[in-house]
Structure 1
């Protein structure tokens, strides 16, 4: 079986356009901060367009961005967010036409920044502490921590914000003023639960030096067809529009609970698409839910729709564990099957495959042989040229052998510089000829850093009806040792050449 060596980091070069952007952002960090400010203000403006009560938006994405920024960047995120809170205060004053004096605007903006940042900094720092204490970054535990800490941070932020608005005189110190925390909390909750994962991914691109731990969570998977993904999104969109339109048309409050049926297309996406696409889908659902609540005048049912999307977001993250764990298990199986350096089969998997091939050969009464070989004086290569060059020699050897094999042949690495070859359909004579061909090809390898030719020694044996793969390997290994005693660069088998 011909095995191709996997692409290494050295073989991969990022697209030149992205590389240039990342280099610019690293060289000029202020550009990253400017992008953070622009995105925060854009999300704030979108949320202000979706207000269904004074100061209360159906969906408050800046909460998710602040939480994500502090989680990823730490103290670095605070100055840009303080600026955004101050700017939002002045902008809101212009939108409402309240004409507050400058000193009150500055006080309100400062109190809002303190309330907003302190609450989300508390939650983000706590979550980051949990991440730093987990060397293996266990995804289920982190998701559970996020779904607890995120809503509590939003609750804290809503109470602090309400208090700041009362102190600054923006809202009255009355019963109505002290009840603002609930709509504030639900809007912030939706922004955190739905958008934090996507915004962390976005911020990692804006701040290339931050967030290495994110790549260790095991969320990368290969995306499928874009058209299939769009079909699933369209299904969810049709269901959402139908439920919310019927609720608005018939004015039956209980109909709003049908929005929970969105879990069906969303789970379809979660179990069949990548984590990125799952995050995009829940973000789009939350956005269009907010838009429809606003423009279908469903303000009285806003809490139902907000909580439904929040529950759906939490379900999405825990649902992600199934494909992520399946992907992790697949990678672990691949690691047990393949040698990570040479991409040859591991010793355990080679012996398992060999047992099956021996049974097949005996059933069809076909010959089968095994070759054991290694590089001559490999220890001297490591000692003289270094282990990196030694690894390169092993990789080159495996690649060379693969070019000489038939589709049915199996290459395995026993350990160190010792390899095994199983040759179904080859008798002793054919296997010896294969080994001799490989021996003659080895000195033709050109390895950077090694000036002398590479040679190898080979032991060859045909597997008899009474042999197991272990006993056949021992015979071939003994012949390999004898070839080394006779001076190396030799093929030995029970039959003369």
Structure 2
């Protein structure tokens, strides 16, 4: 995880963001115009990167369309449809087409349908793979890496059919779909995450279903990120300059070394910065392919961008999965309410400690205790108050235990203690002192103190941990029968029985 030496937004910045969000929510037409501008702006950027007529390394608007349908559903269709029609007229003007306005309108409308239908269907399908569980993010990324390429393939083929119907191309068996597919594919897998961030700002109420997927992370130093990003951009530029200078096709494959720099960013920076870096690296690659006349090797660079993006997304899973594993481990080892050891983990650690004590011929004692009249607390003050009492009790007892002592929750208001290197007499004296101190404390909200009944016994070399626990549990019952609020040890049980 990156260091957390950045500062939170100031109150004025947060206030400005809230005002902008309210304005966008009150003026939906403004949001639609912003989405239209974003789509057209990225199309114009890709047009400037064409290394041959109608051929660019990538098609960024595809990522915007896919992201918009993921966040907005059909709400995004009018803006994207209008964008497709505007682009058709714009491109006809750039290439001095002799088609009439009606012909261009028909072609643009067919293009809009061919572009929208596959991406809307794919985005809708992708949402089905997301559920509220620990595997949300892995499932989402895996589904995205499968559905995204299939969506771009469908869109490319549908666009080719639409162009044939519109009379733009005459050969319906043309392989035009292949470069269209690759360009759309890279636009989707590279820009969709970043486009999601941009569109969610344009439509503040969108993308609720994408929340809580585990990608939030505190950003580190902006200077460190910029240093890594500039190094990656410089390395990419150097590799492509060398490939262009010596005109050796094999040198183009060196672009895959950019993956090292990108993974450095992925593993040390936030997901947003990782998405930004892959977008900038891809944009630089597309620009250099045109400026350095590397069009013959465009497929190599396109493939490298695809691999780099896929590696980035799967790389993002590592810190998230590690965090999930830590959280699951904590849930298995800790009681969710009191944060003391769970029953299973207590017995696991206690068994190890008993074996160690037997090996070194040391004493070890186990105690079982519960809260006197705990049911009355729940009945009179409510279960929330009862939970608070248990948390208070375990916190105060834990603060008075030694570093080797173990405290665990058996269930309800019953808890367990393991006291290594303590004889039975020492354990009884120690527990009596601890519970005497705790009973003198008062829960301020309830204005009452907590008293406990305790049973403690020594785990001998001939004992098993389970038998010792059962013996301590019986001693706990004896303490309750003898008036509660006391510590009863094994020798006292024997004396009581004989009496």
Secondary structure of the 1:412 match is: strand
Secondary structure of the 1:340 match is: coil
Q: Which residue of 1 aligns with 2:237?
A: 241
- Kept in 1, the 8 Å contact 2:164–2:171? The answer is no
Provide the aligned length of Structure 1 versus Structure 2.
480
Secondary structure of the 1:51 match is: coil
CA distance in 2, matches of 1:263, 1:446: 58
Q: Which residue of 2 aligns with 1:200?
A: 196
CA distance in 1, matches of 2:228, 2:298: 25
Cα offset, 1:254, TM superposition: 3.3
- Kept in 1, the 8 Å contact 2:244–2:294? The answer is yes
Spell out, residue by residue over 1:418-454, the C-alpha distance to the aligned partner (whole angstroms, 9 max, x if none): 2223333444335534444335425634365x46544
Q: Which residue of 1 aligns with 2:279?
A: 283
Secondary structure of the 1:419 match is: strand
Cα offset, 1:25, TM superposition: 3.2
Q: Which residue of 1 aligns with 2:148?
A: 150
Name which of structure 1's ranges 198-207 and 252-261 shifts more when overlaid on structure 2. 198-207
- Kept in 1, the 8 Å contact 2:24–2:202? The answer is no
CA distance in 2, matches of 1:371, 1:386: 28
Cα offset, 1:382, TM superposition: 3.4
CA distance in 1, matches of 2:239, 2:326: 39
1:310 paired with 2:306, answer yes
Q: Which residue of 2 aligns with 1:184?
A: 180
- Kept in 2, the 8 Å contact 1:394–1:417? The answer is yes
Matches within 5 A, 1:378-417: 378-417=374-413
Name which of structure 1's ranges 110-119 and 231-240 shifts more when overlaid on structure 2. 231-240
1:72 paired with 2:71, answer yes
Change (3 A) 1:122 1:176: closer
Change (3 A) 1:222 1:434: farther
Cα offset, 1:385, TM superposition: 4.0
Spell out, residue by residue over 1:209-228, the C-alpha distance to the aligned partner (whole angstroms, 9 max, x if none): 54455456555677778777
- Kept in 2, the 8 Å contact 1:166–1:177? The answer is no
Name which of structure 1's ranges 461-470 and 53-62 shifts more when overlaid on structure 2. 461-470
CA distance in 2, matches of 1:240, 1:248: 12
TM-score (norm 1): 0.80
Matches within 5 A, 1:2-401: 18=14, 21=17, 25=21, 28-29=24-25, 30=28, 33=32, 35-89=34-88, 92=91, 103=102, 106-131=105-130, 137=135, 142-165=140-163, 172-174=168-170, 178-204=174-200, 207=203, 209-215=205-211, 217-219=213-215, 233=229, 236-267=232-263, 278-320=274-316, 324-361=320-357, 367-401=363-397
Name which of structure 1's ranges 32-41 and 347-356 shifts more when overlaid on structure 2. 32-41
Change (3 A) 1:39 1:408: farther
- Kept in 2, the 8 Å contact 1:439–1:457? The answer is no
Cα offset, 1:306, TM superposition: 0.9
- Kept in 1, the 8 Å contact 2:289–2:295? The answer is yes
Q: Which residue of 2 aligns with 1:473?
A: 469
Change (3 A) 1:220 1:424: farther
Q: Which residue of 2 aligns with 1:460?
A: 456
CA distance in 1, matches of 2:452, 2:372: 5
CA distance in 2, matches of 1:334, 1:159: 50
Change (3 A) 1:211 1:445: farther
Q: Which runs of 5+ in 1 are unaligned?
A: 1-12
Name which of structure 1's ranges 320-329 and 332-341 shifts more when overlaid on structure 2. 320-329
Cα offset, 1:407, TM superposition: 3.4
Change (3 A) 1:136 1:405: closer
Change (3 A) 1:388 1:198: farther
Bigger CA radius of gyration: 2
- Kept in 1, the 8 Å contact 2:368–2:414? The answer is yes
- Kept in 1, the 8 Å contact 2:110–2:162? The answer is yes
Cα offset, 1:118, TM superposition: 1.2
- Kept in 2, the 8 Å contact 1:137–1:216? The answer is no
TM-score (norm 2): 0.80
Secondary structure of the 1:57 match is: coil
Change (3 A) 1:452 1:324: closer
Cα offset, 1:62, TM superposition: 1.8
Secondary structure of the 2:51 match is: strand
Name which of structure 1's ranges 35-44 and 272-281 shifts more when overlaid on structure 2. 272-281
Cα offset, 1:120, TM superposition: 0.6
Name which of structure 1's ranges 21-30 and 368-377 shifts more when overlaid on structure 2. 21-30
Name which of structure 1's ranges 364-373 and 22-31 shifts more when overlaid on structure 2. 22-31
Q: Which runs of 5+ in 2 are unaligned?
A: 1-7, 493-499
CA distance in 2, matches of 1:22, 1:364: 65
Change (3 A) 1:24 1:243: closer
CA distance in 2, matches of 1:414, 1:441: 20
- Kept in 1, the 8 Å contact 2:431–2:487? The answer is no
Change (3 A) 1:65 1:462: same
CA distance in 1, matches of 2:370, 2:83: 65
- Kept in 1, the 8 Å contact 2:129–2:139? The answer is no
Change (3 A) 1:368 1:45: farther
Name which of structure 1's ranges 203-212 and 223-232 shifts more when overlaid on structure 2. 223-232
Name which of structure 1's ranges 236-245 and 274-283 shifts more when overlaid on structure 2. 274-283
- Kept in 2, the 8 Å contact 1:337–1:345? The answer is yes
